[in-house]
Structure 1
Amino acid sequence: MKRALIVVEGQTEERFVKTVLRQVLEPIGVDIRPTIVATKVVKDGANFKGGLRSFGQFREHLRRVLQGSGGALVTSMIDYYALPADFPGMVSRPLGGTPRQRVEHVERELRIAIGQQNFLPFIALHEYEAWLFSDSVTIPGVLTEPHKQGAFAAIADAMAPEDINEGPATAPSKRLQAMFPLYRKGLHGPLAAERIGIPAMRAKCPHFDGWLLQLEHYATA
């Protein structure tokens, strides 16, 4: 069994790794362990965790994870939406490129900036909630609002989930909150993701699929 550490932004992503991602990676020999970015390190006592405010904060947490990794693979699962502007590659993103081209540019620059062979950067397009648009039935069911399925399907079927843009009112999470005021990321997000399943997400989200392909390759390398 190979070990892999995933740096995530918060408890929702941590739960996704433990309850959804682990189901597909453990059977192929990858012991996957999430670690939440620390927002404040306290010398005596528990650290404050959750939220990504700057590249420096991310880099410091990642440095500690890499130091304790023992050479195991270290990867990330952070959102492209609202990614701090000081992240490597953000100011040099290709103008007019597709969302995937832009995020892959940032990932390449991030890998160069970190400079560790066992670090595999992954930045979700555009955020975790995009994957919940891989299925047009599950979210209305989880929120017990089946009468909104048609409106939700109009969005989910109109474009690939990873192409839903990152505008402050049109990002995947903002669309969910506008349509389903009772939506709570920590409660409904992992539940919906588990019901949708990784195969459906991979089929609709090629950038996410590409990351999982690399994790699968790590299992057999």
Structure 2
Amino acid sequence: MSRIVLLVEGQTEEAFVNELLAPHYWALGVFLTPIIISTSPGNKGGVVSYGKVKHQVTRLCREHHAAHVTTMFDLYALPGDFPGLASADFPREGTGHQKARFLETQLATDVAENNFIPNLLVHEFEALLFAGTDKFAEWTDDSEVVSILKTVANAYPTPEDINNSPHTAPSKRIFDAMPEYQKTFHGPLIACEIGLDAMRLTCPHFHEWLLKLDALAPA
């Protein structure tokens, strides 16, 4: 049995790991443990500064030296001191996938732990839900929600390409279409109904990360 510790951004990602990722990887011989990042004593959730990220990632890597440590942080709204964001080489006009790969490389270099696998969600968790917009129909009485979300999804090559501005990020699109959407409640449930196969098929950066986790399964 291989072990992976996931430092996640909040309760939504924690539930996503427990309800969808963990059962899938358990069947492959990989045990996943999500841990919500701490922001201050007694408070958890959200990436508020890179210093807190590095401290916790490094500690987990060293405490769980026989396991691998990875992250589930949103590319959207990362703190300004995150490694690579201020670099002249940061692909500001590139795709979300290109930005995430660049920042992940910078993060891996800065953390410098052999058992660390950096990962950023492009641009945030809710992008994965655009892999199966039909599944929203089971959670709303508004018949227009699915058609609105489907129109958004069809306007981009992949769900991971949906704009990441404060007004058009994936979560904002969902809230606009479905005001009753509750991130920590609806998000993981809809994700489970969509399933990993659909997400991997339409979200290439997410798929690339899971390939790295797949490789840790016992032979």
TM-score by length of 1: 0.94
1:44 aligns to what? none
**Residue 72 (structure 2) aligned to one of 77, 98, 109:** 77
Asked whether the 8 Å contact 1:79–1:126 carries over to 2, the reply is yes
Letter in 1 for 2:161: D
In the TM superposition, what are the counterparts of 1:43-122 in structure 2 within 5 Å? 47-92=42-87, 93-122=90-119
Q: Where do 5+ consecutive residues of structure 2 fail to align?
A: none
Please report how far the alpha carbon of residue 148 of structure 1 lies from its aligned counterpart in structure 2 after TM superposition.
Answer: 2.5
- Rounded to whole Å, the distance in 2 between the matches of 1:6 and 1:132 is 20
Asked whether the 8 Å contact 1:74–1:118 carries over to 2, the reply is yes
Determine whether 1:213 maps to 2:211. yes
Asked whether the 8 Å contact 1:2–1:72 carries over to 2, the reply is yes
- Rounded to whole Å, the distance in 2 between the matches of 1:152 and 1:162 is 14
- Rounded to whole Å, the distance in 2 between the matches of 1:214 and 1:94 is 23
1:191 aligns to what? 189
Asked whether the 8 Å contact 1:143–1:188 carries over to 2, the reply is no
1:3 aligns to what? 3
RMSD: 1.3
Letter in 1 for 2:145: K
In the TM superposition, what are the counterparts of 1:164-183 in structure 2 within 5 Å? 164-183=162-181
Please report how far the alpha carbon of residue 95 of structure 1 lies from its aligned counterpart in structure 2 after TM superposition.
Answer: 3.8
Q: Post-superposition, which runs of at least 4 consecutive aligned residues in structure 1 deviate over 6 A?
A: none
Letter in 2 for 1:32: L
Determine whether 1:143 maps to 2:135. no
Q: Alignment length, in residue pairs?
A: 216
- Rounded to whole Å, the distance in 2 between the matches of 1:94 and 1:3 is 33
Letter in 1 for 2:150: A
Q: Where do 5+ consecutive residues of structure 1 fail to align?
A: 42-46
- Rounded to whole Å, the distance in 2 between the matches of 1:148 and 1:10 is 25
- Rounded to whole Å, the distance in 2 between the matches of 1:12 and 1:149 is 21
Please report how far the alpha carbon of residue 135 of structure 1 lies from its aligned counterpart in structure 2 after TM superposition.
Answer: 1.1
Asked whether the 8 Å contact 2:2–2:218 carries over to 1, the reply is no
State the SS of the aligned residue for 1:218: coil
Letter in 2 for 1:153: K
Counting aligned pairs with the same residue, the percent is 41
Please report how far the alpha carbon of residue 98 of structure 1 lies from its aligned counterpart in structure 2 after TM superposition.
Answer: 2.0
**Residue 159 (structure 2) aligned to one of 152, 158, 161:** 161
Deviations, residues 158-212 of structure 1 (Å, cap 9, x unaligned): 2210000111100000111111110110110001000000100000000000000
State the SS of the aligned residue for 1:75: strand
